[in-house]
Structure 1
Amino acid sequence: MLDAAFSAGSSVELLAKSLLASVSPVLLAASNNTDVWSLLRFAGATVPEGEMPSGAKVKSIDANQSIERLRYLRMIPIPWSQGDSAAVFEVRNAAAHMGLVDREALSSAMRLVVRFSEYARIRLDQGTDEWWRKNLGLVVEQLLDEGLSELQRGVQAKLASARLRYEEDWGARPPELVKPLLESVRYPRPEGSFSSMYRVCPVCGHLGLAYGYTSEEECLVELPHPDGGFWMNPYLGVTEFDCSSCRLHLVGDAELRAAGLDGQMGLASSEDDTSHNEHG
């Protein structure tokens, strides 16, 4: 999460500076900059007697100044308020300077990052596939869809990220080698435990581990003997899901349901997904 928080603010700053540089690199120079060599570097000029500083040493405007110059040039997503800038950069600063990340603040900031990045992509005339890479184009549409809830956007982002990780880690390997390799690193289920069960991952189709609490549910089915009555069907109330194959991690009933996973699993052995033939 620290990496994600730091990258959120940094990506917006760098994209903002890329947009400014697409007009003129001089726009990156601080207005009160007295470093002549940095000014010359931004202007692309040379002086026979001088040595231009490297890109790592030039003095430029900061993140908020970059946004304000874009606003002046009318090259900024609409709407984009000062509060949006603060939300993104405060998440980055908290991670960079204090090592702190607020999950809800990061989730809100990531949607702003995606909106700013998509605006930059269109403005810089870049293709969707080249910009967002495989599998991420769809989740970008979903993150920007006003009809989706914040929770749904977050879950769709998790699913897309897990799908991308799986493709990068295992996509190029022969299928006959992938299954035994993934079985060897599968999260173990504690022997005799009723608080976890294997379940098919909605992303990669391999087995992940569902955790939760056990309970008993009264089912209205009469037993086939004279006194009749009811039988008790114990089940696992799933509250968390972990897949070692694509590293998908879902927490809470709402995330599980948004990903298409049921919040309950019968504890009968036939309902454990270990019998599932992963990827055929």
Structure 2
Amino acid sequence: MPNDVFISINASALHAKSKVYIGRALVRKAADDLDEYQLWASLALELLGKAALASTHPSLVVDPTHWQSLFVAAGINATTDVKTITAKTLFERLAHLVPRFDKTIQKFCQEIAERRNAELHSADLPFKAMRLEAWEARYWHACDTVLHHMDSSLESWLGAVDAEAPRQLLEEAEKAMKAAVELRVGAAKERFGELKKAERDRAAEEAEQRLLQHQSELFVGRYDEIWSTACPACGCRAFMTGQLTGEDFSEEQDEHAIWEVVDREYSGEEFHCPSCDLSLLGSGEIIASGLNCIHEEQHSREMEYEPDYGND
């Protein structure tokens, strides 16, 4: 990875600027200017996300259709007018790079970016219509998720004193979510328990016979993989789906085989149990229910090219 790239796509520079902008955001919040608080906060989030991508490689931040920018990302000074990706592309890429940056967080980040654009480029006043409690906790959750991936924290990003309020807000939101999920699981368990034993047995048997490839209609979004897991409410076979977050060649590889084995890791983003109708959305809710949102599988696939055996 190039160590010296143009400042606009330099990971350290992007991270430093995000710290300046979130500092401005907190100053505006202290002055009770909540519109400008959300404006600076949205800008800080986008810069933080770009810093996360650039820390993996600067090419992830530039517009792939602008070849001069790609050259700069490779460390070649082809232009000073570097074109970077849109907020929509940024959050889509973060969803593939950061395991806990699920579709729920991605959707929230896209929405705050769209409000920011409307605030700056139209006569609309979208920030004024947003109550603080409708976005602030989710905002800090998104930032915390990105920072965790960067081996950082809110405390480091904001400074220990400034981070106290967001951290407390996050803890309160996490407690509220966990309590809500526990109540939802308990209600599903109670509903299932009220069924007659024959009905419970039939539901469990039907769940065992369901084919994974036919369960996509259970879920709201489209994902890379579906797998089965035990329901935390009724104990029946249930289903989870999520995005591919990593792939590596298996150690069980046969050097003479024409098939290769890869270990794949997925991060769960939706859960549904057809037996008791329990649904969980986002990795936060899945973890709060006691389920593991990380799933690992081995896949076999034919090699693109057969081994070169020589001509002797």
TM superposition score normalised by structure 1: 0.44
More helix by share: 2
Report which of the two structures shows the higher radius of gyration computed on alpha carbons. Answer: 1
Relative contact order: is structure 1 or structure 2 higher (C-alpha 8 Å, sep ≥ 6)?
A: 1
